[in-house]
Copies of this chain bind each other. A is one copy, B any other.
Amino acid sequence: MAVTLKEISRELNLSVTTVTRALYGYDDVAEGTRQRVWSLAETLGYVPDTTAQRLRKGRTDTLGFVIPTFGPRFSDPFFSEFLAALGNEAARLGFDLLVSTRAPGAEEQAAYRRLVEGRRVDGLILVRTRRHDERVQYLIERDFPFVAFGRTDLEVDYSYVDSDGEAGFRQLVEYLVGLGHQRIACLSADPELTFVAHRLTGYRAALAAHGIRPDPNLLIQADLTQRGGYEAAGRLLDRAEPPTALVCLNDLMALGAMRAAQQRGLAVGHDISVTGFDDIPLAENAHPPLTTLEQPVYDIGKRLCAMLVRLIRGESLDDAHVLLAPNLIIRESTGPVPM
């Protein structure tokens, strides 16, 4: 089918060895020979077979990324931005990107094993780490190169980049307290997710710092989706004594929460304050625009990718544990507590 070295070598009465060496610019090939090889390769449209190169070189030049998807209608701007970062940076570094989509659980674990044990990729990027992350455990155990967006509670060392969600939430809640809010609800998610746990810590710390007794009724657990935020906010707002502020674990939830509030005739930013996390592009275009904590997802993805490649190449990392402070962006979805 496709053109191989053998064909070129046969055509020119050369050995396969000489042909590769000519193509790769070794200095033990006569100038004339090199030119003949190049020109024939050109006209025949020779492109080396990637699979053969991989087998021979013992590496795939491929990075793996398993997206944790939730339900069929999976749609999260966070991931598309992150993916764009990985894709662009991987390409820049000469790596392919192999993507799987799997809901967390047994099938996800199997996907990781396929990638690692079948030697399909040279390294992996993890995202949405969990406090006791089996993926991290597994990869450490197998000594397989990986980097993660997020920390874990495991007593192991690995390379990560993470947002300081605790500091971010502390700052955010202090800002709300400063506006006079006391009944600040938190639309949380599965606290096994590390970033959820961190943000909750920050939430609690800020309340405690201001002598506000944490009300367990104001902490509610939901999905990290609009629907999750919509439903959870609905339940909170229908209480006898509803909260005056809704702190949501991410922007998607916040958008859902805003809708729930608006359906109940509340003016977001006046009657009730709502906040998110991520600063997805939609946050700015929400109505009203959403107060949120920005984390530079694209840069994080890019950085992780570069770190992983250095790991694969056996180079040393000077910045193996990066913690970035998120940036509080105040927009119109928050305001002083209503009289």
The residues of A with any CB-CB pair to B shorter than 8 Å are 2, 45, 47-52, 54-55, 60, 62, 67, 69, 72-77, 79-81, 83-88, 91, 96-102, 111, 117-120, 225-227, 230, 255-256, 258-259, 262, 280-282, 284-287, 289, 298
Contact = CB atoms under 8 A, between A and B. Distances in A.
A86 B73 CA distance: 12
Q: Kindly report how many copies of this chain are found in the complex they form together.
A: 2
A259 B230 contact: no
Contact of A83 (B51, B54, B99, B282): B99
A67 B84 contact: yes
Nearest to A87: B101
A236 to B, nearest CB: 17
16 contacts: A45-B117, A51-B51, A51-B60, A67-B84, A67-B87, A69-B84, A77-B80, A83-B83, A83-B99, A96-B100, A98-B99, A226-B282, A226-B284, A226-B285, A230-B285, A255-B285
Nearest to A289: B259
Contacts of A282: 75, 226, 255, 282
Contacts of A255: 282, 285
A264 to B, nearest CB: 12
A120 B98 contact: no
Contact of A80 (B51, B76, B298): B76
A72 B298 contact: yes
A262 B280 contact: no
